[in-house]
Amino acid sequence: MKGPILTIVVPCYNEEEVLLETTKQLSAVLTNLIDDVLVSRESKILFVDDGSKDRTWDLIEKEMAENPFVKGLKLARNVGHQNALLAGLETAAAKSDCVVSIDADLQDDIGVIRTFVEKYWDGFDVVYGVRDKRETDTFFKRTTALGFYRLMNKIGIHLVPNHADFRLMSKRALEELFKYKETNLFLRGLVPLVGFKSTKVFYDRKERLAGESKYPLKKMLAFAFDGITSFSITPIRFVTFLGFLAVIISAAAGGYALFQELTGHTESGWTSIIISIWFVGGLQLLAVGIIGEYIGKIYREVKRRPRYAIEVDAFSNHGQSEQQPGILMSTVGK
């Protein structure tokens, strides 16, 4: 029985310190899967260079020349992790029966890729890699991550807790995912919307092999806020609630002031005035900011700009690295 063609998609941004070791370990995984007839001999590793400023692409080209498993996709500029991952998924889906996505830093346990493939053989279209524990994280990161998942669930966004972008998707699941056209990508929220039969595989995450995390606190907070505003209008409704609450408080304060006036107990003072002005002004700024965030997303969506541009595609061209200046590749208009 011929196994499915598997492509392992690895988005890379300035990963020269880990790339060679990542290639070595993923190649060993593919070799074992092929030997056990779990996947086809046509299976590949697709590295997506997201506009790296170091020697990442040079190393990818070197590995392509020496390792038959390795293929490369070079984006014309840095477009961010989610868009780079999507570029790899769209490119790989054309010649694959299933695709595994994994980061290049070797923190995810590549050993469970075998379990992913076994679950695929069992009929699952989506297999989520879920962290069993978060002991490698700081207390702050563990606490904020737990709070994030709870908040997302409360506002109606059903994510897979402790799951990042380490997953397997079948060809038909990917084809459904590509029908979602939004520019503001949050794949962790989109994949569960695809449906199809899914399951989870638990694993322990490792320390990063080398280099620095590409998701410092600032980016993590921006990513979380982007996910919330991309999938829910609850923040706007919360602003509406605050507006009603401010009106009620103002009415109560006005009633109290009127009572004081009628009973002759009024006193001049500025504290209450300043507090009320600051309170209402703060609510207005908060409301304008949140609404502006949604308007900004609408602005980006209606432009329908391509999500990424491919400079070199050594996967679709059967290993030939051809320059493609000016060719934009995206799901827009497909």
Q: What is the mean pLDDT of residues 133-160?
A: 64
Residue showing tokens 């001049």: 268
Which among 11, 18, 157 is positioned nearest to 83, based on CA atoms?
11
In CATH, the architecture of 6-217+305-329 is: Alpha-Beta Complex (3.90)
Q: What is the mean pLDDT of residues 197-213?
A: 75
Q: What is the mean pLDDT of residues 133-152?
A: 63
Q: What is the pLDDT of residue 233?
A: 61
**Contacts for 106 with CB less than 8 Å, ≥ 6 apart:** 18, 21, 22, 25, 206, 208, 209
Tell me the C-alpha distance between 92 and 4, whole Å: 13
Q: What is the pLDDT of residue 41?
A: 92
Could you read off the pLDDT of 245-254 as tens digits, one per residue? 766 776 676 6
Tell me the C-alpha distance between 213 and 211, whole Å: 7
Q: What is the pLDDT of residue 182?
A: 79
Higher pLDDT, 181 or 117: 117
Q: What is the pLDDT of residue 38?
A: 92
Residue 227 Cα distances to 146, 151, 232, angstroms? 15, 11, 9
When the pLDDT of each residue in the chain is averaged and rounded to a whole number, the result is: 77
Question: Domain spans of the chain?
Answer: 6-217+305-329, 234-303
Q: What is the mean pLDDT of residues 19-23?
A: 91
Tell me the C-alpha distance between 10 and 17, whole Å: 15
Tell me the C-alpha distance between 175 and 169, whole Å: 10
Rounded (10°) CA dihedral 154, 234, 147, 194: 70
Phi, psi of 284 (to 5 degrees): -65, -45
Q: What is the mean pLDDT of residues 140-162?
A: 66
Q: CB–CB of 155/230 below 8 Å?
A: no
Could you read off the pLDDT of 288-332 as tens digits, one per residue? 777 777 777 676 667 677 778 888 888 876 444 443 333 334 443
pTM beyond 0.75: the answer is: no
Could you read off the pLDDT of 238-275 as tens digits, one per residue? 766 776 676 677 667 666 666 666 666 655 554 566 56
Residue 14 has pLDDT above 70, yes or no: yes
Higher pLDDT, 114 or 137: 114
Which among 67, 66, 87 is positioned nearest to 76, based on CA atoms?
87
Could you read off the pLDDT of 40-84 as tens digits, one per residue? 999 999 999 998 998 999 999 999 999 999 999 999 888 888 889
Residue 183 has pLDDT above 50, yes or no: yes
The answer to whether the Cα torsion of 83, 79, 67, 54 is positive or negative is negative
Higher pLDDT, 3 or 75: 75
Give the ranges where 158-233 is alpha helix by DSSP (H): 171-177, 187-194, 217-231
Higher pLDDT, 215 or 117: 117
